[in-house]
Amino acid sequence: MSLKRRTILQMIPAVAAMSIAPALRSQASHHVVVVGGGFAGATVAKYIKMWSAADPRVNMRVTLVEPRVAHVSCIMSNLVLNGQLKIRDLSFDYAALQGKYGVEVLQDRVQRISKDGPEIKLKNRGWLAYDSLVVATGIAFDPIEGLDDPRKTPHAWIAGGQTNLLRNQIRDIPERGTFVMSIPDKPYRCPPGPYERACLVADILQRRGSGYRVIVLDANNGIQAEKETFTRAFSELYGDIIDYRPLQRVVGVDQNSNYVHTKILTADGQETGGEDAVYGDVLNIIPRHGAPRLLVNSGLTDGGRWAPVDPTTYGSSLDRFPGVYVIGDSQATGQPKSGHMANAQAKICADAILRRAAGDSLDSDERLDNLTTNSACFSPINASEASWLTAVFRYNRDTGNMGLVPGSLGEAHNWNSENYRDMFSWSENLFADTFK
Amino acid sequence: MKKLLTPLACFTLLLPFVLPANALAADDPAVNRLLASQCAQCHGTNGYSRNDFESIAGEEAKDMYEDLTDMKGEDRPENIMDHQALGYTDDQIRRIASYYATLPEDPESRESESSSGSGTLSASSSIESEEQDEKEMEQREERDEDDEEDEEDEEDDH
């Protein structure tokens, strides 16, 4: 027997083994279509592929549909305003999801979720069928009267070009100028984010000289997150600059005269009949949020502002949407709207989809008693110090909701440089757990 | 004989910190994996951190269990992990600890890491290319807004 022939013969068992391996997987693949490549969508795509690779019973095909080539993280984007970061530092493409995990990425826009069958319509590619559909499209803004050109009055609450526009406007603010920002009715994306932004803008202006003002118009009844920290920062660090005004809802903007029109609210959010008009050299108006039009038009929000879901799977609570899941900021569970939280929900959704594909139970006591999400975030208070906020949520079988675990909610006792350094470690690992 | 002894030996080692009564039944491994995945936002996918935040893959189950239950017992929670630990039952902490103990300490022995280039916070660039990037981004977002209008037209047809 020639060496060559022996070598070939020795290879036969290996080849045979390779051909058997795929046969162990179930014949038909389960096609998951994920709409939106932010923290929620990227995480669910990655985790379904990563976890299914270890389970020979399932054969998961995952397609991520996202109109942009990269996601720009809102997390850390307030540091673009003071020049510490660039948008490119916060931009994450889908190369790792494709190359490392085998997610198929389609650069396209979803126009419609069919009410008649499991398919969605893409702008460029037409209809796409799914076995499971995960909608992870984030937020949309309510219109505000007179606020017609977002390029003149940036919200900068979806990061990207808007963030750069706001940075440039702050850079060009006249001497002793006034910056006016607004905070919408809750729930909004990133509860501490607006207060963090107020601090950072005040820090930028304070370094430039005296006489600058930051007016914060909050539609809510007081500071919504890290209350001790921001109350203290507003008075101790920025008492001469920040003018915080709760219970002021923005109802109109004049983009020519730069006046913001507000209605004054009672403590429970009712209009008192009182009104105010506030002038700003730079306006940063963040409109009220809701689920994007794709969800509203499809009926996934059931006429409401957010999509109702079962938090044990993130499947739509509506019977007419079998196999449709909503994760991240668009869903209605009442957990904080944040990238960290979206990542946490995506993992529960990934587990649920994998169990359904494998025919495993979703409602065992063991699974339901161990469903948790958590939130952790760091807030820069100035250019070198930060605070933090954290909480854990656990599924409550009695209420059918996620509930805050007593004692787990906490905020930093002080802002300091150690927290500031930790903020970069936290965000680096969160970005990698989501996109890499 | 050796094969029989090994699981028994493991079981004996685990006993000192396996206190909750329901822990004696076999865990659903996917439940533990899901629970443990909630640590990954801060500690890295599968517990492999990319920085000075602690990597927790391969940590001894007993050590992690003791660390976390100690944190739960703090009179005055000081840091994020003190509060996080308070979010989990002792049985959940046992599950998380036993999951990470099964992973190798070295991520290279589990999978080869690849980096996708963008998104490192130390990235720097020339002013010219930044301005070009910003211009392109704003043009892209304008196109997206036009797309949104298309979407609305499309919906109106139905």
- Summarised one tens digit per residue, pLDDT across range A311-335 is 999 999 999 999 999 999 999 999 9
**CB within 8 A of A6, min separation 6: which ones?**
none
Locate all alpha helices (DSSP H) within chain B, ordered by sequence. Answer: 2-14, 29-37, 40-43, 61-72, 80-85, 90-101, 127-156
Bridge partners (DSSP) listed for residue A326: A135
Element (H, E) at A214: strand A213-218
Cβ atoms within 10 Å, residue A212: 22
What does residue A338 show for φ and ψ, rounded to 5 degrees?
Answer: -160, 160
Q: What's the rounded mean pLDDT across residues B88-97? A: 98
Q: What's the rounded mean pLDDT across residues A397-417? A: 97
**Could you identify the residue written with the tokens 């002793």?**
A176
**How high is the mean pLDDT of chain A?**
94
- Specify the pLDDT at position B130: 63
Separation of alpha carbons B89 and A286, rounded Å: 39
A372 near B CB under 8 A: yes
CA gyration radius, chain A: 24
Q: What's the rounded mean pLDDT across residues A41-65? A: 97
Element (H, E) at A193: helix A193-208
- Specify the pLDDT at position A244: 98
Structure tokens at B47: 């517990």
The DSSP secondary-structure symbol of A138 reads: -
A340 near B CB under 8 A: yes
- Specify the pLDDT at position B74: 84
Q: Which of B43, B116, B133 lies closest to A96 in CB terms?
A: B116
Q: Which domains does chain A have, with CATH numbers?
A: 27-138+291-435 (3.50.50.60), 159-288 (3.50.50.60)
Query: Does the model's ipTM exceed the 0.90 cut?
Result: yes
A4 near B CB under 8 A: no
- Specify the pLDDT at position A26: 52
- Specify the pLDDT at position B124: 42
Contacts of A354 in chain B (CB under 8 A): 30
Helix, coil or strand: residue A28: coil
- Specify the pLDDT at position B143: 58
- CATH architecture of the domain covering B9-106: Orthogonal Bundle (1.10)
Contacts of B86 in chain A (CB under 8 A): 392, 405-408
Over 70: is that where the pLDDT of A134 sits? yes
Contacts of A95 in chain B (CB under 8 A): 116-117
Q: At B33, is the pLDDT very low, low, confident or very high (cuts 50, 70, 90)?
A: very high
Whether A260 contacts A253, CB under 8 Å: yes
Return the sign of the alpha-carbon dihedral for residues B143, B145, B151, B153. Answer: negative
- Specify the pLDDT at position B145: 57
Q: Could you give the percent of chain A with pLDDT greater than 70? A: 94
Half-sphere exposure in the Cβ direction for A285 (13 Å, CA): 33
Taking an 8 Å cut-off on Cβ atoms, the answer to whether A370 and B141 are in contact is no
- Spans of all domains in chain B: 9-106, 126-158
